[in-house]
Structures are given as structure tokens and as C-alpha cells.
Chains A and B, each alone.
Chain A
Amino acid sequence: MTTDDLTQIPSRPTGIARLFEAPQMGKMSPAGCVIVYSLLFIWTGFVLFPLYWIAITSVKLPIDVNSGPAYLPWIDFTPNLHAWRDLVVLEWAETLKPYRNSVIIAFFSTIACMFIGSMAAYALARIEYKPKFGTILMFVLLMAAASVSVGVWGVDWRLASASAAAIFVLLARALGRRFKRSVGNSDILFWMISQRILPPVVTVVPVYMMFQSVRLLDTQFAIILTYTVVNLPIVVWLMYDFFSGIPKDLEESAQLDGASQFTIFYEIVLPLARTGLAATTLLVMIFAWNEYIVALFLSTTKAQTMPILVAAMNAGEKGVLWWKMSVVIIIMIIPVVLMALVLQRFISRGVLLGAVKG
């Protein structure tokens, strides 16, 4: 056989080369070990150093911050809790308000988002939708007409949207059957994802005007609603994958047992998808908790959130109040880290992977 000569088994390298090869399976080569651990520690330092700096800045006096770098508490400078006292004791009422706003907004928008989004994702994963291309086009055109009439000609928005909806229902009944081309679930899904491409500034200006026209600016409700819609595509996209991964026969057997569609969803599907739910919830919550631009546009005083408070620490006449800002950042991080620690095992279990398999 000629192939005998083709497959000479190599022998182990000797000398220096030996350092670069694992001694056996499941182990790292000596050189690899050194490289891997040094990279790990370098990166850990890169990740942790800014956090450390924020932490020590929060216990520095203004003079310690402004007189140059001081690295170690008790050695380079004396820790002082003045910034913490200012924010957490003296001005607690002013800190508490955005904190409460942030909690309420992040909580309710996450709940709403998960609720609507997971139902939509489930529907997309299980039911074959065939909306007619023409119907969608018609809907979009009517929406356009309604917005133009509100924006340009100053028609009352309630009147405009009501009449647009009425015309749409009438026309959809009359013309619905004539449209031939339809779109499928995958088109809907891709369109959902593409919503994430919209830059916030594209949406935020009209949304600002919209809420202005219905007098809802600077309310928690407006921000909750906006975050819900902005984060919906993520939820739908992620949850679609988790739901598709659940075997259909489980639901079918439940159907035979006489369970209703909603019972099946809550009793069978949701518990099975709970890893996905946990990870998605965490992700959406982080986005809602940390969002800045929308909050900046939509709130002035009453509905301010924590990121706005962080930015507000720049407004002092003496420049940035680093010590106070560090305190705000730290109290912002704490709840997210706690949440993440609780959900940690879900994150590292390849859950986010489902996110991007699409």
C-alpha cells in the first residue's frame, strides 16, 4: 500500500519545541501555561483597575483627587466618607428619587418587555404567519398619512389615528383577498432584528415630539414604554431560539390532556425556557438600567434616572465632582452585580449562544 508511506507517525519534538506542546491530553504546554496565566492576569488588571479607581475615588477628599494620583488608601491618602455622607445621608432624598425612578423604570419595562416579547417569540416559533405584503404596505402608508396629518397639518392626533385605524380595517376587509404576496415568519423575525439598527437618535426625536403632543414628557410611563419597545426586538430574537429548541411533542401531549393554549405556555413552555428567560431578563435589565440618551431626551426633573444623575455630577462649577460621581456609579453597579451573580450560572452555560444562532 502506498498510503503506508504517507502517514508516518511523527515523533515528539525535543528541546525548546517541547515547551510548546502539551505533555498529554487535557493539559497545557509549559509555555502555554505561562502565556495563558499572564494574559489572564493582565486582562483581570485591565478590567478591575478602572473599577478600583472608581472605588478609591469615592473615598477621597477633593484635595486628594486634585493634587495628583494617590493609589493606596491609608498609605497615599486617608479615606474619607464625605462623598458617601453627602449622597447617602445629607442629600439622600435627592439621590433616592432617581434611584427609585431607575428601579421602577428598569423593573416595569423589563417585565413588560419579557411578557410581550416572549409571547410574540412563542407565537413566531409555533404559528405560521402569512401576513399579506399588500396589507402591511397599506398599514404603513396609512400610518404615514396619519403622522403627516398630525405633524404637518396639525390635525388632532386622536382623530387622525382613529380614522386611520378605521380606514385600515375597512380596506383590509375589502382588499385583503386581492393581495397575493405574503411574508413568512423568518421575514418578520429579520425585520424585528433590523429594528435594533435604528440609531436611538432616529427614534428619540419623534418619540419626544409624540410624548410632547400627548403631554407625557418627563413621566416614568413614557420612559418605560420607550424602553419596552426599544428592547422588544432583543427579547423576541433571543426567546425565539429558546422556544424553537423546545420539543413540540411536549406541548402536543399537553394539548391531548386538555390544557388550553395559555396553560400550555405558562405551565410547560416557560419553565422549560427558564434559562433563556433568565439570561434575556438580565440583558434587557442591564440595557434599561444603564440607558442614557432616551432618558436624557424624555426626562427633565421628575423622571430622571441614575445615568442622568451620573452625568449631572459634571455640572458643578468646579468641574466634575469625581468623588460624588464615583459614589453614584458604585451604587448603580451594586444591584446589577447582585442580579448577575444570582443568574451567573445561566450566563456561562452557553445561554447567550442561543442568542446569536438566530
Chain B
Amino acid sequence: MPAVIMILIFSIFPLIASLILSLSRVRLRAGGYDVRFVGLRNFEKQLFGSEQFHFLGTFTSISLLGWVFIIAMGALLIRWFSVYLRGPVVVIGLIGRIITASMILALSVLLAATLLSGNQFGTLGVTLFYVLVGSAIQFLIGLGLAIICAQPIWGRTFFRVVFFLPMMITPIGIGYAFRMMADTTKGPFSPVWQFFGLRDFAWAADAWTARSFIVIGDSWQWIPFIFVVLLAALENVPRDMIEAGHVDGANGWQIFKEITWPSIAPVAATVMLIRAIEAFKLVDLPNIMTAGGPGISTESMTLQAFFAWRAPDLAQSAAVSYLLLFIAVVLCVSFFNLVILKRRAAIA
């Protein structure tokens, strides 16, 4: 029980304190700080006020592509609900689904209004890019490597140890190492850049190349984790189930699709949850590799909160953190309840 109480104190205290901070204006003075209650003004500033471009992005009118996307997402959600309502409905489940759906809808409207309409998106969009695109790439590569290493290959132990190495290196170090790697004049790949006539090409000056480099660095660090867990899961699939599949006449792809994948899916879902949780908190890499630039195009929400703290504007920092917490919790809890629990129930 002491651990529970300790976590209770240490997690609830900061939560409450952050909430208070985010509802206040904080001014540092010599030897302390003044706190004044300002209601929801900090959040208002982020969502609708002077920080809107920073947090959400820049809006103009929504393009045709944007509208198509919004309508498609809306249709998907309506279909999802109609399927759900046909089955047994529980009040809490319904409320949860409504919250999930409105969050997804709001985020798709945001995506449509910024990226798909040719506008810049803010730290929220960047964060989601890291979470969704980064995690997806890392999952696919991690799974691929795990499948390869589960084969009867020569030198298994060597490859496993090597593939696990990046996990042990401090994210700070990884950030700097990748800054070296990506240097177009002094980095190891500069002859390659030159060959393509990109000697003066500054990847950090372009929003998308900058983001891609951060995702590559992030992947370098996190694929090992996904790889190790999925490899363990693959090796835990009962061997005679696979053998039964062979005798039943299935080919390699059928065995993976029909037997292996359903068995490792719960683990895969959980490892993705862990990965997504950590991706929401990505801060070291963009801070070091690009300092959030060019402009704000690689700035994650955590980095925004970090910059606000350094400003020092504790209240804005807390407000951004709270917004991140809210979004992360809704998405993670939805994922947990709608994906992981279902996967687990399927093989329990």
C-alpha cells in the first residue's frame, strides 16, 4: 500500500497543482512567485487567442480536400455508432464512445482545416504526427525485424543484442548523433547529398524533411523496444499451434495471418499503447535536432510546454501540458478499451 499512497500523493499533487497553475497567472519575483486566479483564460489563449496559431495551427477556409476528409471521417464514425447501437448498449460504453468519437471528429476537422487546406499546423498536429506516423512506422519495422529474428537464422544472439543497443542510449545523445548524421556538409552522408546536388540543402529549413529526420531518430531509439517485446511474443506462440497449421496445409502467409498474428495481437496492441504514450511525451529529439524549427514546424506539445516554462511562463506551460494530458488520456483510454480489451478477450 505505501506505493499506492506515494503515487497518489506524487501524481495527484502535481495534477492539482498544474490545474491550479493552468487556471492562474504566475509571475516570478525574487525568492518566490505570485499566483493569481484567471479562470480559463490560459486555455482560451491556446485554443482561440494569440497562441492559437502555435497550438492548433493557422486557419483559413477549408479546402475541398479538407471537406472530403471531414465528411469521410464523419461517415465512418456514424457507421461505427450504428454498428455499436445494434448490439447491446451500456451507458458507460456509450458515453465513452461519444467522447472518443467527438475527439476523433475534432482532430479530423483540425487536420482538414490545416494540413489538407495547405496551412501550417501547430504543435498539436506535430505531436499527432509523431504519435501516429512515428508509431506506425516503428511498429511495422519492429514487427518485421521480430519476424526475421524468429526465423532459424545464424547468429541470433548477436543480432538481438545489436538491435537492442539503441534503447540504452540517452535520448539527448541520440538527438545530437542524428544531428551529426544529418549534416549535409560535415556529416557522413555529405558526399551523397553532394552527389544529388544538395550540398547547400538545409534539411532543417524545410518543415517536412525536418519532421522526417526527427521521426527517423525517434525510430532508431524506439524500434528496439517494439522489436524485443514482439520477438518475445512471437516466441511465446505455442509451437504446436504453428505445427498444426502446417499439417493442416496452411502456407507461411496463412499461418501468420490466421494463427501467429491473432496470438500476438494483444501484446502488439499493448506495446503500441506504451509506444504512443511515450511518443506523446517526445521532447528531447526535436529540442536538440531542430529546436522546434523551422518556425514551429517540429515543435511537439511537450516542447511547447518546455519552452513556455523556460520563458518563464509557468501558467501557459501548465495549460499546454493539461491540454496534452487531456488529449493523450482520451486517445489512450479509448485505445485501451476499444482495442486492447477486445484483443485480450479474444484469446483469454
A and B: real partners? Answer: yes
Q: State the CA gap A321–B42 with chains docked (Å).
A: 39
Which of B153, B190, B325 is A197 in contact with, Cβ under 8 Å?
B325
Interface-centre pick from B20, B173, B340 (highest chain A CB count, 10 A): B173
Decide yes or no whether A254 CB sits under 8 A from chain B.
no
Question: Which chain B positions have C-beta within 8 A of A44?
Answer: 159, 162-163
Contact of A340 among B10, B168, B172 (CB under 8 A): B168
Alpha-carbon separation in the docked complex, A233 to B152 (Å): 36
CB-CB under 8 A for A152 and B20, given A200-B302, A350-B236, A357-B270: yes
Cβ of B9: which chain A residues have Cβ within 8 Å of it? 143
Given A25-B246, A50-B181, A123-B1, are A340 and B164 also a contact pair (CB < 8 Å)? yes
Are B270 and A53 touching (Cβ within 8 A)? no
Task: Indicate if the CB atoms of B7 and A232 lie closer than 8 Å.
Answer: yes
State whether A49 touches B188 (Cβ < 8 A). Answer: yes
Report A-chain residues with C-beta under 8 Å of the C-beta of B277: 196-197
Distance in angstroms from B226 CB to nearest chain A CB is: 10
Q: Choose one: B18, B165, B173; the contact of A329 (CB below 8 Å).
A: B173
Q: Is the CB of B220 within 8 A of A46?
A: yes
Once bound together, how far apart are the Cα atoms of A197 and B17, in whole Å? 17
Instruction: Write the nearest CB–CB distance from A243 to chain B, whole angstroms.
Output: 13
Assess whether B232 is in contact with A352, with CB atoms less than 8 Å apart.
yes
Complex CA distance for A7 and B15, rounded to whole angstroms: 63
A116 interface hit (Cβ, 8 Å): yes
* A233 and B252 alpha carbons, distance in the complex (Å): 39
Q: Give B1-58 interface residues, CB cut-off 8 Å to A.
A: 1-4, 6-18, 20-21, 24, 33, 35, 37
- Are the C-beta atoms of B181 and A353 separated by less than 8 Å? no
The yes or no answer to A117 lying at the interface (CB within 8 A) is: yes
Contact A40 B148 (CB under 8 A): yes
Please list 15 pairs of residues, one from A and one from B, whose beta carbons are closer than 8 Å in the complex, sorted by A's number: A9-B249, A50-B180, A69-B189, A195-B7, A196-B277, A201-B320, A201-B321, A202-B325, A205-B321, A206-B17, A229-B10, A232-B3, A311-B172, A333-B168, A350-B232
Residue of B nearest to A207 (CB): B14
User: Assuming A69-B186, A356-B274, is B321 touching A202 (CB within 8 A)?
Assistant: yes
Q: Is the CB of B170 within 8 A of A147?
A: no
Q: Which residue of A lies closest to B154 (CB)?
A: A37
Indicate which residue in A47, A66, A69, A143 contacts B16 across the interface (CB closer than 8 Å). A143
Contact B171 A290 (CB under 8 A): yes
Which residues does chain A contribute within 8 Å of B167, judged by CB atoms?
Answer: 286
The 5 closest A-B pairs by CB, nearest first: A120-B3, A206-B17, A290-B170, A353-B232, A350-B232
Contact, CB under 8 Å: B177 / A329: yes
B214-244 interface (Cβ within 8 A of A): 220, 228-229, 231-233, 235-236
Residue of A whose beta carbon sits closest to that of B185: A68
Residue B97 interfacial (CB < 8 Å): no
Pick the interface stretch among A77-85, A91-99, A258-266, A341-349.
A341-349
Residues in B neighbouring A10, C-beta threshold 8 A: 249
Cβ proximity bits A147-189 to B, threshold 8 Å, 1 near / 0 not: 1100110000000000000000000000000000000000010
Q: In the complex, which residue of chain A has the Cβ closest to the Cβ of B1? A: A123
**CB-nearest residue of chain B to A328:** B173
Contact present for B229 and A356 (CB under 8 Å)? yes
Interface size on A, residues (CB 8 A): 102
Q: Which of B152, B161, B336 contacts A26 (CB 8 A)?
A: B152
- Quick one: which of A67, A120, A210 has the most chain B CB within 10 A? A120
CB distance from B348 to the nearest CB of A (A): 11
Q: What's the Cα separation between A297 and B281 when bound, in Å? A: 16
When distances are taken between beta carbons in the complex, the residues of chain B under 8 Å from A233 are 7
A92 to chain B, nearest CB (A): 20
A172 to chain B, nearest CB (A): 13
Interface residues of B in 297-318 (CB under 8 A from A): 301-302, 305-306, 309, 314, 317-318
Query: Quick one: given A69-B186, A197-B325, are A353 and B8 in contact (CB under 8 Å)?
Result: no
Q: Is B121 an interface residue (CB 8 A)?
A: no
Q: A-side binding surface: helix, strand, loop or mixed? A: helix
Chain A's nearest CB lies how many Å from the CB of B302? 5
> Complex Cα distance A248/B18, Å?
42
Looking at the assembled complex, report how far the CB atom of A12 sits from the nearest CB atom of chain B, in whole angstroms: 12
Contact A151 B17 (CB under 8 A): yes
A10 CA / B250 CA spacing, docked (Å):
11
Residues of chain B with a CB closer than 8 A to A353's CB: 229, 232-233, 236, 267
Residue of A nearest to B331 (CB): A197
- Please tell me if A71 contacts chain B, counting CB pairs below 8 Å: yes
Q: Which residues from chain B contact A7 at a C-beta distance below 8 Å?
A: 249
A197 in contact with B162 (CB, 8 Å): no
Residues of chain A lying within 8 A (CB to CB) of residue B170? 289-290, 292, 306-307, 310, 329, 332
Q: Is the pair B169, A329 in contact by a Cβ cutoff of 8 Å?
A: yes
How far apart are the CA atoms of A49 and B231 in the complex, in Å? 23
Chain A contacts for B77, CB-based, 8 A: none
Q: Within B105-154, which residues are at the interface with A (CB < 8 Å)?
A: 144-145, 148-149, 151-153
Q: Which of A7-49 contact B (CB under 8 A)?
A: 7, 9-10, 22, 25-28, 32, 36-37, 39-40, 43-44, 46-49
Residues in B neighbouring A28, C-beta threshold 8 A: 151-153
Cα-based distance from A251 to B165 in the complex (angstroms): 38
| A352→B229 contact, CB < 8 A | yes
Q: Nearest-CB distance from A355 to chain B (Å)?
A: 7
Flag if B284 contacts A199 (CB, 8 Å).
no
Q: How far is the CA of A37 from the CA of B154 in the complex (A)?
A: 9
